[in-house]
């Protein structure tokens, strides 16, 4: 991916959403010709020269210090995910395509699969940054049964979300799922812009889904560590499940995600029913 273009569009899009009032700058009336802040105003807020900030917003992040990046992040009121993304873009600009963070194909260690299999009451899976499901337990496969109906392996949650009509049935709030999906891919693109498999996936989705193209162009990113996800399962119905997404330190780039339901809730009963449905015959 073109890291200069990504940096340019990300900074411009974040600048456009901040008004002078939000930034605490005085306004003198009249018509402003730009949406949001002017480049010179961002430079003032960050304590850098206008020429230097213009250079950064043109996508030239090579050699920029962490302190300057943090000052830009404060000026643009970036959240934690956006701040990390800006640092990732700068890191990519300084390392270039010859430095790879990790290989595109990662074997799942037997111990990780054993851990998944031991989680008999919680749907769980391991994914990479492209949202490929690389390992899954029995209950996790049952939860995502519509995605696993496709013969393609590995199952890719982004491809399922945008290209499989059953995703709108499985995700009752499909818009939120679609937003999260593209934001996670955009975040990964900042971390590892030279991953060809990721580039190919984004190209495929952009070609086949206008919705994806629109969301991708927004340059939104997010961290996805904990929260609640909603399902409308074809067998057990509505499930509102809390999730925890935990990076695997021994396997850089891989994340273990596990779901749970509040005890005594209808979702807990539904999850127990799904577990019984998937239990192996004795």
Q: Are residues 20 and 84 in the same domain?
A: yes
Instruction: State pLDDT tens for residues 153-165.
Output: 999 999 999 999 9
Percent of the chain with pLDDT over 90: 84
Three state DSSP letters for the chain: CCHHHHHHHHHHHHHHCCCHHHHCCCCCCCCCCCCCCCHHHHHHHHCCCHHHHHHHHCCCCCCCCHHHHHHHHHHCCCCHHHHHHHHHHHHHHHHCCCCCCCCCCCCCCHHHHHHHHHCCCCCEEEECCCCEEEEECHHHHHHCHHHHCCCCCCEEHHHHHHHCCCHHHHCCCHHHHHHHHHHHHHHHHHHCCCCHHHHHHHHHHHHHCHHHHHHHHCCCCCCCCEEEEEEEECCCEEEEEEEEEEECCCCCCCEEEEEECCCCCHHHHHHHHHHHHHCCCC
> Same structural domain for residues 209 and 166?
yes
Indicate whether 99 pLDDT > 80. Answer: no
**Domain check: are 127 and 233 in the same one?**
yes
In contact, 76 and 16? CB cutoff 8 Å: no
Q: Are residue 131 and residue 223 in the same domain, yes or no?
A: yes
Q: Is 82 found in the same domain as 160?
A: no
pLDDT tens for 240-253 read: 999 999 999 999 99
Residue with tokens 């779901």: 259
Let me know whether 15 and 155 are in one domain: no
Given 28, 61, 95, the domain boundary residue is 95
Position 124 in a domain: yes
What pLDDT is stored for residue 280 in this prediction? Answer: 67
Assigned domain for 101 exists: no
Q: Is the pLDDT of residue 108 over 50?
A: yes
Its pTM stands at 0.90
Determine, yes or no, domain membership for 100.
no
pLDDT at 216: 97
| Average pLDDT value for residue range 127-146 | 97
Question: Phi first, then psi: what are they for 219, rounded to 5°?
Answer: 60, 30
Q: Are residues 142 and 265 in the same domain?
A: yes
Q: Is the pLDDT of residue 255 over 60?
A: yes
Domain count, the chain: 2
**pLDDT tens sequence across 61-79:** 999 999 999 999 999 999 9
Q: Are residues 87 and 142 in the same domain?
A: no
| 75-89, 166-180, 266-280: the lowest-pLDDT one | 266-280
Q: What integer is the mean pLDDT of 225-231?
A: 96
The verdict on 124 and 170 lying in the same domain is yes
279: its two tokens = 């239990």
At residue 29, the pLDDT reads 59
Tokens of residue 66, six digits: 């962490």
Whether the predicted pLDDT of 282 surpasses 80: no
- The reply to whether 164 falls in a domain is yes
Distances (CA, A) of 229 to 104, 142, 175, 219: 28, 16, 12, 23
- Domain span holding position 198: 110-278
> Are 83 and 215 contained in the same domain?
no
């Amino acid at each position: 991916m073109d890291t200069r273009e990504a940096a340019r569009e990300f900074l411009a899009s974040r600048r456009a959403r901040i008004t002078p009032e939000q930034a605490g700058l005085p306004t003198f009336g009249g018509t402003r010709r730009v949406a949001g802040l002017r480049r010179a105003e961002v430079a003032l807020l960050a304590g850098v020269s206008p020429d230097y900030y213009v250079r950064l917003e043109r996508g030239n992040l090579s050699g920029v210090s962490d302190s300057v990046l943090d000052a830009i992040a404060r000026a643009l009121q970036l959240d934690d995910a956006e701040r990390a993304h800006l640092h990732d873009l700068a890191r990519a600009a300084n390392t270039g395509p010859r430095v790879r963070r990790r290989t595109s194909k990662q074997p799942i260690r037997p111990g990780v699969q054993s851990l998944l299999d031991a989680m008999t009451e919680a749907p769980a899976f391991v994914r990479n940054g492209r949202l490929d499901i690389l390992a899954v337990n029995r209950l996790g496969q049952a939860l995502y049964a519509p995605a696993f109906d496709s013969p393609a392996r590995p199952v890719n949650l982004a491809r399922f979300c945008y290209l499989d009509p059953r995703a709108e049935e499985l995700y009752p709030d499909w818009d939120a799922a679609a937003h999260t999906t593209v934001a996670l891919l955009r975040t990964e693109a900042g971390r590892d812009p030279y991953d060809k498999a990721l580039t190919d996936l984004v190209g495929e989705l952009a070609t086949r889904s206008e919705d994806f193209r629109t969301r991708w162009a927004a340059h939104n990113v997010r961290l996805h560590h904990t929260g609640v996800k909603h399902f409308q399962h074809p067998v057990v119905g509505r499930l509102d499940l809390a999730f925890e997404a935990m990076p695997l330190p021994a396997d850089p780039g891989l994340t273990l995600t596990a779901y749970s339901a509040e005890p005594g809730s209808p979702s807990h009963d539904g999850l127990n029913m799904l577990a019984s449905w998937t239990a192996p015959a004795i």
